[in-house]
Amino acid sequence: MNKISEIFQAWVSAANPTPEQKQIAEYRASVCDSCEHKTHVAAINSFVCGKCGCPLSKKVFSPKPGPQACPLAKWEK
């Protein structure tokens, strides 16, 4: 899967997640909450991943398996 496809699918899923996607996203967000790379960007009043720059509200919906989706391989699912 190329990066553009991954990003597009994550944004689509974030707009209308299935119950399973929502559960996975909630788990991933909880992992990000304690990550030292979670960064607040005042200009957009949102959090991003400090390693890849993705907005976390969408990144957590990546269709890739957890260790492949997180640039630090911190997500188990």
What is the distance between the terminal CA atoms of the chain, rounded to a whole angstrom? 17
Please state whether the predicted TM-score (pTM) of the whole model is above 0.85.
yes
pLDDT digit string, tens, across residues 10-26: 999 999 999 999 999 99
pLDDT digit string, tens, across residues 23-54: 999 999 999 999 999 999 999 999 999 999 99
pLDDT band with cut points at 50, 70 and 90 for residue 6 = very high
DSSP 66: H
pLDDT band with cut points at 50, 70 and 90 for residue 1 = confident
What sign has the CA pseudo-torsion 53, 58, 60, 66? negative
